């Protein structure tokens, strides 16, 4: 891929790139819609991701091109004019990183050329946007010798989503993309930012990523609505309880105090946030103990809660998950990401893989009317520079 990308870079910009870079996508093993509710998440970086080649310019012109969006062409703007523009489409993600790093005082004082090429299916819910953000952060850090700590690049990526793009997302996606390690998952407390790396050893099992091929668009979906519902439930609980987030409650405390919320829909939303946080902690313990059966049960319970209490699944995701759960050699399955489309994961025994893929594809096509794509997910390293190209 990099060799082709070098040719593409030369073709678009008329010269060689200085360096090559990579940022992964991510899956979240469990802990969905808990990150903005002050709970725990359990993500891992995957080997699918976004590659980038870049070179600095002597003037102020920024030129960005994505192999994934050829119709958009080269997006051009000045490093001194970094306002959001709808027509810049995907390029607003890297532009936002430039803007906020500059505002933080980092000397990004000249233009650049960057080409992007992602292997993450767009709209699949595997964090292609966070991948682009962290990739851009790593590129800027290298080109301008900024020495920005990775945690600050992660926080800048979240700021891009929240303030520049307008998606009220938590920090999980950027954290997993930035801090990922091969064969390890990250248990992150989104309230305190404390985290621990947990060996993700699935033994005879592998993780399947099943793409509904129904893109989810977080801004257009009910994502912000769900967040607002949880914030209102929290506000009502705080009239009597000294808590900072729904993640501060265990299930017993929630059940004892849910009457404070007083609205059936808000109670369901908060119930998911609280119980999913508890499931995430149990899942970490199960993985450490090598108890994959319990881990699988927790995946199934997570999907049930996302379907019934949080109501963010829909027929495509529910069909995929139900089909996967019925297959021989499957310990559990659930939707991942924002919902309303995107992907689901399943824990599948290696020697059942071919049968699993064939059966799930048939069930999905028969019921939904179009295909699902199924990938085997390997857990990989986080955002990084790959090599210095001009030094060769």
Could you list the active site residues?
A: 173
Rounded CA-CA distance 189/79 in Å is 35
Q: What 3-state DSSP class applies to 201?
A: coil
Closest CA to 276 of 30, 27, 26: 30
Backbone angles phi, psi at 24, to 5 degrees: -80, 170
Rounded CA-CA distance 388/253 in Å is 54
Q: How far is CA 151 from the centre of its chain?
A: 16
Contact 385, 138 (CB under 8 A): yes
Q: Which residue in this structure is represented by tokens 């969905």?
A: 32
Q: Which residue in this structure is represented by tokens 């899956």?
A: 27
| Residue 184, strand partner residues | 181, 199
> What order of strands is seen across the sheet that includes strand 205-211?
330-336, 343-349, 205-211, 373-377
Rounded CA-CA distance 189/52 in Å is 30
- Is 392 exposed, middle or buried, given 0-12, 13-18 or 19+ CB atoms closer than 10 A? exposed
Contact 97, 137 (CB under 8 A): yes
The angle formed by the CA atoms of residues 315, 316 and 321, to the nearest 5 degrees, is 95
Q: What 3-state DSSP class applies to 134?
A: helix
The enclosing H or E element of 50 equals strand 43-56
Percent helix, strand, coil in the chain, to 5, is 45, 20, 35
Say if strands 61-66 and 205-211 run parallel, antiparallel, or are unpaired.
unpaired
């Amino acid at each position: 891929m990099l060799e082709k990308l070098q040719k593409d870079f030369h073709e678009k910009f008329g010269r060689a790139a200085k360096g090559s870079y990579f940022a992964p996508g991510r899956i979240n093993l469990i802990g969905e819609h808990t990150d903005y509710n002050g709970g725990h998440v359990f993500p891992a970086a995957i080997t699918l991701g976004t590659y980038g080649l870049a070179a600095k310019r002597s003037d102020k012109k920024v030129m960005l091109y994505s192999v994934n969006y050829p119709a958009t062409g080269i997006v051009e703007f000045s490093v001194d004019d970094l306002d959001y523009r709808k027509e810049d489409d995907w390029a607003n993600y890297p532009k936002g990183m430039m803007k906020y790093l500059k505002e933080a005082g980092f000397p990004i004082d000249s233009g650049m050329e960057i080409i992007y090429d992602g292997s993450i299916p767009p709209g699949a819910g595997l964090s292609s946007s966070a991948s682009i953000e962290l990739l851009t952060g790593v590129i800027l850090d290298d080109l301008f010798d900024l020495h920005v700590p990775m945690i600050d690049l992660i926080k800048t990526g979240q700021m891009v989503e929240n303030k520049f793009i307008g998606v009220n997302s938590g920090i999980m996606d950027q954290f997993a993309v930035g801090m990922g390690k091969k064969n390890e998952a990250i248990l992150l407390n989104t309230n305190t930012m404390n985290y621990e790396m947990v060996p993700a050893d699935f033994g005879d099992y592998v993780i399947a990523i099943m793409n509904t091929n129904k893109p989810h668009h977080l801004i257009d979906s009910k994502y912000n609505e769900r967040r607002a519902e949880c914030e209102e439930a929290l506000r009502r609980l705080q009239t009597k309880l000294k808590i900072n987030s729904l993640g501060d409650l265990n299930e017993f405390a929630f059940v004892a105090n849910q009457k404070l919320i007083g609205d059936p829909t808000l109670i369901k939303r908060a119930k998911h946030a609280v119980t999913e946080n508890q499931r995430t902690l149990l899942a970490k313990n199960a993985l450490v103990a090598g108890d994959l059966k319990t881990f699988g049960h927790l995946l199934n319970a997570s999907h049930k809660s996302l379907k019934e209490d949080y109501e963010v699944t829909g027929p495509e995701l529910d069909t995929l998950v139900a089909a996967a759960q019925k297959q021989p050699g499957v310990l559990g399955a659930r939707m991942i990401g924002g919902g309303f489309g995107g992907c689901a994961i399943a824990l599948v025994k290696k020697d059942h893989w071919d049968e699993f893929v064939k059966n799930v594809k048939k069930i999905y096509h028969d019921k939904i009317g179009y295909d699902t794509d199924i990938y085997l997910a390997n857990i990989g390293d986080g955002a990084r520079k790959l090599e210095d190209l001009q030094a060769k």
